[in-house]
Amino acid sequence: MRPSGSMDLEACPVSDDLLKRLLDTTLNAVADVGGQLPEQQRAALAVYCYRRSHFRRLGLSLAGLCSRQALMMEAGHAGELIHRQASNMAQPIETGSDQKARSGKAPISLYVV
């Protein structure tokens, strides 16, 4: 299936205000905010967040709210892989400053308050 999603990988598919609201919520409450978006926009946002390492968990949480087809329309094979990863998340994920990257160092975020 050929993706028909956004070709601009840098442009966020939602407003800065909505992205800030999502980042301020815990990942377990993403369903409330993400559920208000149309599915294609939610899939576009899930892919957008997933492609940025500091938003990856948010992207997976949003992808869990999307159908496989919507993610594939947005990102093709990558959308299918994102859907599979989101489906296989075994435990709820919470944000926190005590998270460690694979290297053992604290993750770096570009999020500005």
Distance of CA 55 to the CA centre of its chain: 6
Give the torsion sign (CA, 22, 39, 16, 54).
positive
Give the torsion sign (CA, 38, 39, 44, 46).
positive
What per-residue confidence (pLDDT) applies to 101?
A: 52
Instruction: Give the Cα separation of 45 and 93 in Å (integer).
Output: 18
Residue for token pair 């709820």:
92
Of residues 66 and 90, the one with the higher pLDDT is 66
Taking the model in full, what pTM does it have?
0.65
What per-residue confidence (pLDDT) applies to 62?
A: 92
pLDDT tens digit string along 65-85?
999 999 999 999 999 999 999
Whether residue 113 has pLDDT greater than 70: no
**79-92 mean pLDDT:** 83
What per-residue confidence (pLDDT) applies to 76?
A: 94
CA-closest candidate to residue 65, choices 90, 83, 89: 83
pLDDT tier for residue 91 given thresholds of 50, 70 and 90: very low
For 21-73, the DSSP string reads HHHHS-GGGHHHHHTTS-HHHHHHHHHHHHTSGGGHHHHHHHHTTS-HHHHHH
Domain chopping of the chain, boundaries: 1-113
Taking the alpha carbons at both ends of the chain, their separation in whole angstroms is 39
What per-residue confidence (pLDDT) applies to 102?
A: 61
